[in-house]
Amino acid sequence: MSKIDMGEKQKKLKAGLEYIGVDRIDGPLVFIRKTHSVGYRELVQCIDPHGNTRLGLVLDTSKDIVCVQVFEGTSGLTMPDTHIRFMGEPLKFGVSEKMLGRVFNGLGQPIDDGPMPVAEAELDVNGMAINPTAREYPRDFIQTGISVIDGMNTLIRGQKLPIFSGNGLPHNELAAQIARQAKIKGSKTNFAVVFAAMGVKNDVARFFVKSFEETGVLDNVALFLSLADDPSIERTITPRTALTLAEHLAFNKNMHVLVIMTDVSNYCESLREISTIRGEIPSRKGYPGYLYSDLAELYERSGMIKGFSGSITQLPILTMPNDDISHPIPDLTGYITEGQIVFEREMYSRNIYPPVAGLPSLSRLMKDGIGDGMTREDHPHLASQLFAAYSYVKDVRNLASVIGEEELTPLDHQYMEFGETFEKTFVSQKMNEDRTIEETLNIGWRCLNILPREELHRVTDEEIEKYYGR
């Protein structure tokens, strides 16, 4: 027993021990030989020759050599004059409700000239896995005012629903619109937005700030900005810092937190960068084999917990490289998140906003959050019918592109018309248009009016009586 105590005591004594000079610097990584025994993922302070402190984390530790990842980059470090101090504890982040309305860098240090808010709690940025038995199954419908989301890919409070977009598509506009319009039917609650920017352009960050300002919600938003010209390594910690604050707000302060993370592709690229420098065996497209687990650590930090009224809803944005949905980043994301909203370039060029591709988009939690008592009783069947009909439209369009539109049967012509109307009136809406769920569903029925009644297999006779043909 005494032996163990001794060990613990020695560890504590050695915490804060500083070493002068490092043995190798490679990209964002620093290697030091002959240290005391350093803990895995221990926090490190790295003091550059000018006396400025940078933060780092132990990535690999052994008797002989320790590998440290420096978040603010290694530029300006020299081998003999760099001081390394091991802190003897994991990376923690002091969180506070006062962080709302403030702007931070990716590590959680204020960059808006204000002081660092006094921390209410010091939390490990890596978080911990939520016990599945402690989770509350999410089922509260969030009305975003956007038909194609509310009607067909319903967002649920506590869900993680990413936007799969491409360069040049209006994902930022959609995310901002959701943040502006999102509300729970018939309730007024404490809400907050945590915004994590990973490697995005300055203009994008400004767009979001402006959009929050205009709607007067800026006081409820905490921004974590690690922009394109910040060290890429900082991005690997940005979402974790942001989610740590989100967890504090949701589960200690009972707030409903919407976390917008953009752009996850940049985050993955930073991971790849570190992995390559460390000489790890790459998996698909050079991304590390643990990309799935790493992304899961982010996305799974959402949801609701029994006994707490707060929640974390995640809206990650990722740009699919070359619009390829089978690229590892969207692919792995889709396996973890509860659905996805997929953008289609072809629709955008036909001037449809939001250009949400009807068929590949999906909300997995939708089934339990819609219907009688939550939205409207016809919602589940109507959504299913719209999907089925729209899917047939796609087939007909393919057929028409081969044999020509004239050769189509009269029924197929009706489907073509349905497809047009559906895209122009249901999917398409203005960037400031806020439709209620009833409006959305009624527009859906108006589209179905184009089709003959016998084609509607997925709605019940009562629903047809009540809504069809009106």
Partner 1 sequence: MKERIIGQVKRVNGPVIEAMGITDAMMLELVKVADSRLIGEIIKLEGQNAVIQVYEDTTGVCPGDNIYGSGMPLSVELGPGLIGTIYDGIQRPLEDIYKISGHFIEKGIQVSSLNKDKQWCFVPEVNVGSLISGGSIIGSVQETERINHKILIPPEVSGVVKSISPKGDYKITDTIAVVETADGDKNITMVQNWHIRKPRPVKERLPLNIPLVTGQRVIDTLFPIAKGGTVAIPGGFGTGKTMTQHAVAKWCDADIIVYIGCGERGNEMTDVLKEFPELIDPRSGKSLMERTVLIANTSNMPVSAREASIYTGVTLAEYFRDMGYHVAVMADSTSRWAEALRELSGRMEEMPAEEVFPAYLPTRIAEFYERAGYMKTLSGKVGSVTLIGAVSPPGGDFSEPVTQHTKRFVRCFWGLDRQLANARHYPAISWLDSYTEYLYDVIPWWEQNAGPTWSEDRASIMELLQKEVRLQQVVKLVGPDALPDSQKFIIEVCTLFKNAFLQQNAFDNIDRYSSIEKQMKMLQVILTYYKLGSETIKRGITLVKLKHMSVYQDIIKMKFNVPNEDLKLLDKLMAKLERSMDQLESTYV
Residues 371-400 that bind partner 1 (CB under 8 A): 380, 384, 387-388, 391-392, 398-399
User: Nearer Cβ to partner 1, position 50 or 63?
Assistant: 63
Q: What DSSP string describes 423-450?
A: IIIII---TT----HHHHHHHHHHHHTT
CA distance 181 to 23: 53
Nearer to partner 1, 45 or 283 (CB): 283
Residue 418 CA to residue 385 CA, distance in Å, equals 12
Residues 6+ apart with CB under 8 A from 243: 127, 194, 196, 259, 298, 301, 312
Buried b (16+ CB within 10 A) or exposed e, 72-95: bebeebeeeebbbbbbbeebbbbb
Interface positions, 157-176, toward partner 1 (CB under 8 A): 158
Cα separation, 155 vs 182, in Å, equals: 9
Q: Using the rule CB under 8 A, is 4 a contact of partner 1?
A: yes
Binds partner 1 (CB under 8 A): choice among 173, 273, 331, 433: 331
Contact pattern for partner 1 over residues 8 through 47, marking x by CB under 8 A: x--x-------------------------xxxxxx-----
Backbone dihedral angles phi then psi of residue 221, each to the nearest 5 degrees: -120, 135
DSSP 178-236: HHHH-EETT----EEEEEEEEEE-HHHHHHHHHHHHHTT-GGGEEEEEEETTS-GGGGG
Binding mask 71-90 for partner 1 (x = CB under 8 A): ------------------xx
Of the candidate spans 18-26, 44-52, 120-128, 214-222, the one that interacts with partner 1 by CB under 8 A turns out to be 120-128
How many CB atoms lie under 10 A from the CB of residue 422? 23
**Comparison of 47 and 325: residue with beta carbon closer to partner 1:** 325
CB 466 within 8 A of CB 378: yes
In the complex, the smallest distance separating the C-beta of residue 316 from partner 1, rounded to whole angstroms, is 15
Tokens standing for residue 54: 């940078």
Report d(CA 261, CA 315) in Å as an integer: 6
Which of 48, 338, 378, 463 lies at the binding interface for partner 1 (CB under 8 A)? 338
Residue recorded with tokens 């028409």: 400
Least gap, CB of 444 to partner 1 (angstroms): 14
Q: Are 426 and 148 in contact (CB under 8 A)?
A: yes
Decide whether 92 or 446 has the Cβ nearer to partner 1: 92
Residues 139-158 that bind partner 1 (CB under 8 A): 158
Give me the least distance between CB of 391 and partner 1, in Å please. Answer: 3
**Among 201, 284, 350, 424, which residue interacts with partner 1 (rule: CB under 8 A)?**
284
Label the pairing between strands 141-143 and 155-156: antiparallel
Closer to partner 1 at the Cβ: 104 or 267?
A: 267
Long-range contacts of 345-352 (CB under 8 A, 24+ apart): 345/166, 345/168, 345/169, 347/423, 347/427, 348/169, 348/170, 350/423, 351/428, 352/423, 352/424, 352/427, 352/428
* Residue 195 vs 251, nearer CB to partner 1: 251
Token pair belonging to 413:
């012509």
Q: Is 321 in the site for partner 1 (CB under 8 A)?
A: no
Candidate list 282, 438, 466, 469; residue touching partner 1; CB under 8 A: 282
Q: Give me the 436-455 binding string for partner 1, x by CB under 8 A, dash otherwise.
A: ------------------x-
Which stretch, 215-223, 228-236, 312-320, 322-330, contacts partner 1 (CB under 8 A)?
322-330
Q: Tell me which residues in 54-73 interact with partner 1 (CB under 8 A).
A: 60-63
Residue among 119 and 130 whose Cβ is closer to partner 1 = 130
Site string for partner 1, 340-369 (x = CB under 8 A): x------------------xx-x-xx-xx-
Q: Which positions from 290 through 319 interact with partner 1, judged by CB under 8 A?
A: 290, 292-293, 296-297, 299-301, 303, 305-306, 308
Among 23, 203, 346, 407, binds partner 1 (CB under 8 A): 407
Interface residue with partner 1 among 280, 346, 420, 462 (CB under 8 A) is 280
Of positions 135, 201, 206, 466, contacts partner 1 by CB under 8 A: 135
- Between residues 296 and 352, which has the closer beta carbon with respect to partner 1? 296
Contacts of 132 (CB under 8 A, 6+ apart): none
> What is the distance between the alpha carbons of residues 93 and 86, in angstroms, rounded to a whole number?
17
Give yes or no for a contact between 44 and 263, defined as CB atoms under 8 angstroms apart. no
Least Cβ distance, residue 458 to partner 1 (angstroms) = 8
- Exactly one of 2, 80, 133, 187 binds partner 1 (CB under 8 A); which one? 133
The candidate with the shortest Cα–Cα distance to 176, out of 433, 439, 431, 437, is: 431
- Residue 136, interface with partner 1 (CB under 8 A)? yes
Site for partner 1 contains 201 (CB under 8 A): no
Contacts for 293 with CB less than 8 Å, ≥ 6 apart: none
Instruction: Show contacts with partner 1 in window 238-277 (CB under 8 A).
Output: 251
Q: Please identify, using beta-carbon distances, which residue of 63 and 188 lies nearer to partner 1.
A: 63
**Closer to partner 1 at the Cβ: 276 or 283?**
283
